[in-house]
Amino acid sequence: MSGAKSHPYHIVNPSPWPFVSSALAFAMAIFAIMYMHGSSIAPMTVVFVALVITAALWWRDVVAEGRNGHDHTEAVRHGLRMGMLLFIVSEVMFFFAFFWAYFNASIPALSFVASPTWPPEGIVPLETWTLPFLNTLILLTSGVTVTYAHHAIRLGDNKRGATGILLTVLLGVLFTACQAYEYGHASFGFKDGIYSSTFYLATGFHGFHVIVGTIFLAVCYFRTIKGHFSPEGHIGFEAAAWYWHFVDVVWLFLFTAVYWWGSAGYVH
């Protein structure tokens, strides 16, 4: 047996990172529960830092595999794209549950426990066409900039690609800052009934996805500067762009259902 590879697939070398990251994630969940019951936050913080370091080391190895010129064949890139697509489908199901909870609480025809009025009495919803609409424009613009970056990288222009990614990252940070300001000035808290619970659950998890996507694209920005991407091989950025477009689309549904339709019944 010569040991030469006679197929286009990538057989991953043994790695400690999947096991270590899973153990750390489990430990962080345990320490988080303990913290919620009055224990110190220190153990959870230490485990979180260790998890971030482990993820960085794991990503370092994955990046190296993608750049060595022989592991990421076209068959492997196709598999990675399908994996990312299936992940996004699972995220669609994730947000579907939140929308189901929201409409189940707001439409009497769907539930016997829905509020007779929506928003419920005593809730002052956020103004639709102020900060929420501004955030919509910010995310739609970021969708344009990430598409611009993708087009540039496919043409082999990494300089323009890096510029487009950087603009997208800055718009993501701006969106997060606006949402934090919005939360700080909302008239209702997380525990103020079904409206606030479903509102913060749906928009909060979307905000978390924006933060994750911003970090994802920030990594791609530095990789672009270092010349890691080529017109034929840029699967890392392609996955980030798909993820960002998914975040855009979810926000359009949130804006329409939660901010616009959800506040239509409020009498000023």
Q: What are the residue boundaries of the structural domains of the chain, listed by start?
A: 15-71, 77-263
pLDDT band at 228 (very low <50, low <70, confident <90, very high): very high
pLDDT band at 146 (very low <50, low <70, confident <90, very high): very high
pLDDT band at 47 (very low <50, low <70, confident <90, very high): very high
String of DSSP letters for 248-263? HHHHHHHIIIIIIGGG
In the chain, alpha helices (H): 17-36, 42-67, 74-106, 131-154, 158-184, 194-225, 235-254
From residue 46, give the alpha-carbon distance in Å to each of 30, 49, 177.
13, 5, 26
pLDDT tens-digit readout, 77-94: 999 999 999 999 999 999
pTM, full prediction: 0.90
Average pLDDT over residues 215-242: 95
Nearest Cα to 57, choosing from 8, 24, 10?
24
| Rounded CA separation 80/6 (Å) | 20
Q: What is the largest CA-CA distance in the chain?
A: 79
With respect to CATH, is domain 15-71 assigned 1.10.287.70?
Answer: yes
Give 253's contacts (C-beta < 8 A, 6+ positions apart): 95, 99
The mean pLDDT value of the chain amounts to 92
Minimum mean pLDDT among 12-16, 46-50, 224-228, 264-268: which range? 264-268
Can you read off the two tokens belonging to residue 74? 């076209």
The residue ranking higher by pLDDT, 67 or 251, is 251
- The CATH code that applies to domain 77-263 is 1.20.120.80
What pLDDT does residue 109 have? 81
pLDDT band at 121 (very low <50, low <70, confident <90, very high): confident
Average pLDDT over residues 11-20: 90
